[in-house]
């Protein structure tokens, strides 16, 4: 038995990039920053805060929701799995990347913080979830 599950709460680092494949399937990518607060040890040593940057990939209905509702600075809850891959850059150097393929997303920012009229409703989130789960066989990996 094995388990590959990630849950993150963090802030979007820049405007999401949403693209549409030739067959009309939406794919969104964004960066999410998670920060551990700094603290002081009992011996007086200060441990600074630490920020990790995560590459998030969302497909189909979730990607369309990202396009409509998610912006730089928004706080998100992301649930998904870790995927690693490699590619050759323009100079032929092999590069490695680790991504979080999201199965679930929730916008945690308030309407005022998100500068949007409203976040996705539960029914649109559920329908997007059904679209994502129902169409996994169409994913190109």
**Quick one: what percent of the chain has pLDDT higher than 70?**
78
* Each residue's pLDDT tens digit, 71-94: 999 999 999 999 999 999 999 999
Interatomic CA distance for residues 89 and 93, integer angstroms:
5
Q: Can you say how many angstroms the Cα of residue 125 is from the centroid of all Cα atoms in its chain? A: 15
What is the pLDDT, as a whole number, of residue 68? 95
Interatomic CA distance for residues 102 and 97, integer angstroms:
16
What is the pLDDT, as a whole number, of residue 57? 98
What is the pLDDT, as a whole number, of residue 109? 86
pTM of the model: 0.74
HSE on the CB side for 110, CA within 13 Å?
2
Low-confidence ranges of the chain (pLDDT < 70): 111-141
What is the pLDDT, as a whole number, of residue 123? 42
Q: What is the DSSP letter of 64?
A: H
Kindly write down the DSSP assignment for every residue of 35-80, as one continuous string: EEPPEE-TTS-EE--EEEEEEEEEEHHHHHHHHHH--TT-EEEEEE
What is the pLDDT, as a whole number, of residue 113? 53
What is the pLDDT, as a whole number, of residue 110? 78
């Amino acid at each position: 038995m094995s388990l590959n599950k990630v849950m993150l709460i963090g802030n979007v680092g820049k405007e999401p990039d949403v693209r549409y494949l030739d067959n009309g399937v939406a794919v969104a990518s964004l960066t999410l920053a998670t920060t551990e607060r700094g603290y002081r040890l009992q011996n007086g040593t200060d441990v600074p805060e630490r920020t990790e940057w995560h590459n998030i990939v969302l497909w189909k209905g979730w990607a369309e929701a990202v396009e409509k509702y998610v912006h730089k600075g928004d706080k998100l809850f992301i649930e998904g799995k870790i995927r690693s891959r490699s590619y050759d850059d323009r100079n032929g150097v092999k590069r490695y990347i680790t991504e979080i393929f999201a199965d679930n997303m929730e916008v945690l920012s308030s309407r005022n913080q998100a500068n949007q009229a409203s976040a996705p409703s539960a029914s649109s989130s559920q329908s997007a979830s059904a679209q994502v789960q129902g169409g996994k066989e169409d994913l190109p990996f």
